[in-house]
Structure 1
Amino acid sequence: MHIPPYHKKPGWQRFLAGVFFGALISYFVLIFMYATMYERLLEENSNIRSELTEAKNYIKALEEDKQNLDEKSKQPITVESIELEITNAEQLRIDKLLLVQLEDLMKEEIKHIIGQDVNTVYESNQLLEATIENKDFKVDDFIYTFEIKRLLINKKVKISAEAKISN
């Protein structure tokens, strides 16, 4: 059997050259399409991995925060500071310096509650009121007594008191 000599005819030569170059071009197009698709998939994969890592870090931080809150909730709440307000300071014409001195004297009387449990201070609030109301505070030849109008007990104890001048 003999293969016909088509390779010698110019029409067949152009056809075979076209098939060869067409195959070569289609191979490069296929490689280009595969590379761009693979690049897009790699980018998508890296984005998803970074989101997953971020989500894991977020979950870990929330778990640590939850543990810290659990530990803090087991600890009793203590009194951290005392805030005093004299409601009728303007009516008695008490100047700023005298006001600060009176507040310091009152804070000195009840400073023992700082660091105590809020529940303990709440249970002994009448004792706290009596401590302030029954004490006379002497500043600049005047004796001041106080009547508690409002007492709020939390981490910060807020006391609103009305001053009276006694002779």
Structure 2
Amino acid sequence: MHVPPYHKKPSWQRFFVGVFFGALISYFVIIFMYGTMYERLLEENSTIQSKLKDAENYIEALEEDNENLDQKSKQPTTVESIELEITNAEQLRIDKLLLVQLEDLVKEEISHIIGQDINIVYESNQLLEATIENKNFKVDDFTYSLEINRLLIHKTVKISAKAKISN
């Protein structure tokens, strides 16, 4: 069998040159398309990685905050301050200076509850009431006794009392 000598004919030579350059151009087009696709995928991958890192940091911060809240919730809540209100100060015509001194004396009498657990103070609220009501407080020339109207126990113990002048 004999291969015909097509390489000598100009029409076949143009065909082979066209196939060669077509293959070369198609090779470059495929390389360009592959590079563009690969670049887009790398860009998408990097944005997804950054979003993932942000989400992990967010989750870590939330877990740390949750642990802090758990630790705070395990600690007992304590009494932080005492507020006293004398409801009938105007009726007894107690001036502001005497009122402040009377409130300071009462707060000084029950100052031991500051820093204690709220549950302990709540359980001993009758003792707290009895401590205030059974004590006479001397301010200047007057002696006052208090009768508790309302006692709220929270981080701030709020006491609403009615004062009486006793002899």
Normalization by structure 2: what TM-score? 0.75
Any idea what the Cα deviations from partners look like across 1:77-104, whole Å, max 9, x if unmatched? 2222212222233444444433332221
Deviation of residue 116 (structure 1)? 1.6
Matched, 1:61 2:61: yes
Q: CA RMSD in A?
A: 3.0
Deviation of residue 125 (structure 1)? 0.7
Q: Can you give the 5+ residue segments of structure 2 that lack an aligned partner in the other structure?
A: none
For 1:18 and 1:99, locate their aligned partners in 2 and report how far apart those are by CA, in whole Å. Answer: 110
Map 1:89-104 onto structure 2 (within 5 A).
89-104=89-104
Map 1:22-41 onto structure 2 (within 5 A).
23-41=23-41
CA 1:5–1:120 in structure 2 vs 1: closer, same or farther (change >3 Å)? closer
The answer on whether the counterparts of 2:7 and 2:13 sit within 8 Å (CA) in structure 1 is no
Matched, 1:4 2:13: no
SS of residue paired to 2:147? strand
For 1:50 and 1:5, locate their aligned partners in 2 and report how far apart those are by CA, in whole Å. Answer: 59
Residue 110 (structure 1) aligns with: 110
Residue 77 (structure 2) aligns with: 77
For 2:77 and 2:37, locate their aligned partners in 1 and report how far apart those are by CA, in whole Å. Answer: 59
For 1:54 and 1:93, locate their aligned partners in 2 and report how far apart those are by CA, in whole Å. Answer: 65
Residue 160 (structure 1) aligns with: 160
SS of residue paired to 2:88? coil
Aligned AA (2:74):
K
CA 1:43–1:150 in structure 2 vs 1: closer, same or farther (change >3 Å)? farther
Any idea what the Cα deviations from partners look like across 1:4-58, whole Å, max 9, x if unmatched? 246745x964x66665555555444434433333233223222222232233333
Deviation of residue 120 (structure 1)? 1.6
Residue 46 (structure 1) aligns with: 46
For 1:103 and 1:7, locate their aligned partners in 2 and report how far apart those are by CA, in whole Å. Answer: 121
Deviates more, 1:137-146 or 1:67-76: 67-76
SS of residue paired to 1:164? strand
Deviates more, 1:35-44 or 1:64-73: 64-73
